[in-house]
Amino acid sequence: MHVRALSVAALASTVVLAACGGGGGTGAAPAAPAPPVVTAAPAVPAATGSVPMTITIPHHSPSSSARAPQFISPDAAAMAIYDGAALVYVANLSLDSQTPFATVYSKSGSTTVTPGTCTFSSSTATCTLSITATTGAHKFDVVIYPQAQGQQPNSAARKPADVGTVPVFAGVISSEGELSVTIAVGTNPAATLTLLGVADRALFAGASEAAYNATATYGYRIQDSTGVQIVQPGTAYDNGPVTFTAAPAGIVTITPSSVSTPPASAGDQNFNVQCINTAGGTVTITIGAKTQPNTTYADGLAYSSSNYSSGTITSFPFTCDAATGTIPVTVQGTRRQ
């Protein structure tokens, strides 16, 4: 489970999100993402307690935190490219560098990769590269990692003509995607591969307690393993849908109970928690996703907790107050003499 940080303070059943973090940006860089902000809290019965809440967002380096979230994640550190199940290229990435690709491994043979450049705008990060391969049908997979990959001293898979060595991949995949294409001779029409972010972490904020029949609205952001919010153009999470569940059952309802599509742009999303049991109680709310991609990629990667989301993105307690309470009443009177 990856929870960036969480402590919440509730004031009179309203939630105030304490935002922090984010590095300073340059003039050209997009603004640092703001932490989730809860929308207008519903009115709740009086006499509820107040819970202080703070959210700590891990500190990014100024240049990193200044970037807007996008896919490829601006914090992506390595890229692996497969032709079918064959790993053909690995590079460490410095996306905002003049030389964004630092080749770690380039397989010799019929499929070769020529790295290109990366550009940034306020909302997108785009990298170009070229793949030369034999004519016919191919499935090219691209996998993004949040950390740089290292050389391996000895690689049985390495051929003398290869450049570098096949790394032992480290890190939880932040995004991946596949491009099915039939290669014709010559230069083929340009193709676009839109990666799908792997839901791995979440930022959230909201009240930790609500009265019976009241609704607490949570703000949240689903992030990949680089700690950047997953947004479109990928129209799905790689391991979606992202689900919102509560246990034990029967105490709260959560709407929506799941979300399949990342937001179009960076910003908060919301889900509502409503207490439905007059007896109240405490539940554990879990934001989860699948532990492997929905797509069976041609690269045939084996997914485990070491390279993929654990499935439980985050969980936290939530308390519902009972509908009734006992009020000790002391009645003072004067005995008549």
Partner 1 sequence: MLTRDFAAVLLIALLAGCGGGGGGASGQPVAPINAPFVPSTGTLSIGFAVASTASPPTATSGPVTSSARRAPRYVSPGTASVAIYDGATLIYVANVSSPANFTTVYANTATTIVTGATCTSSQPPSCTITVQTSLGAHTFGFVTYPVPQSSANTRTPPAFTGVILAEGELAVTVVAGANPAQTIAPLGVADQVFFSGPVLTQRLNGTGPLVGVIGTTYTIQYAVDDSAAVPNGYQIVLPGAYDNGPVTIAETDGGGIVTMTPVSQSSPPASPGMQSFTVTCAASGSATITASAKSRPNATYASGLTYSSANYPSATLGTTTLQCVSASGTLPITVN
Name the site residues for partner 1 (rule: CB under 8 A).
70-72, 79, 110, 114, 124-135, 140, 142, 177, 179, 181, 183-195, 233
Instruction: Give whichever of 17 and 196 is closer to partner 1, judged by the CB atom.
Output: 196
Cβ 115 to partner 1, closest distance in Å? 11
Instruction: Give whichever of 27 and 186 is closer to partner 1, judged by the CB atom.
Output: 186
Q: What token pair was written down for 319? A: 């308390």
Cβ 266 to partner 1, closest distance in Å? 15
Instruction: Give whichever of 185 and 331 is closer to partner 1, judged by the CB atom.
Output: 185
- Cα-Cα-Cα-Cα dihedral sign, residues 82, 85, 87, 90: positive
Contact 162, 107 (CB under 8 A): yes
| Cross-strand pairs, 314 | 287
Structure-token match 């990949």, residue found? 224
Structure-token match 């069976």, residue found? 296
Instruction: Give whichever of 99 and 330 is closer to partner 1, judged by the CB atom.
Output: 99
CA distance 280 to 178: 47
Instruction: Give whichever of 80 and 216 is closer to partner 1, judged by the CB atom.
Output: 80
Instruction: Give whichever of 43 and 191 is closer to partner 1, judged by the CB atom.
Output: 191
Cβ 214 to partner 1, closest distance in Å? 42
Q: Is 90 strand, coil or helix? A: strand
The amino acid at 1 = M
CA distance 310 to 304: 8
Cβ 147 to partner 1, closest distance in Å? 18
Cβ 73 to partner 1, closest distance in Å? 11
222 burial type by CB count under 10 A (0-12 exposed, 13-18 middle, 19+ buried): buried
Cβ 14 to partner 1, closest distance in Å? 39
CA neighbours closer than 13 Å in the CB half-sphere of residue 187: 3
Structure-token match 């402590």, residue found? 7
For 63, the enclosing helix (H) or strand (E) is helix 62-65
Cβ 128 to partner 1, closest distance in Å? 5
Instruction: Give whichever of 15 and 144 is closer to partner 1, judged by the CB atom.
Output: 144
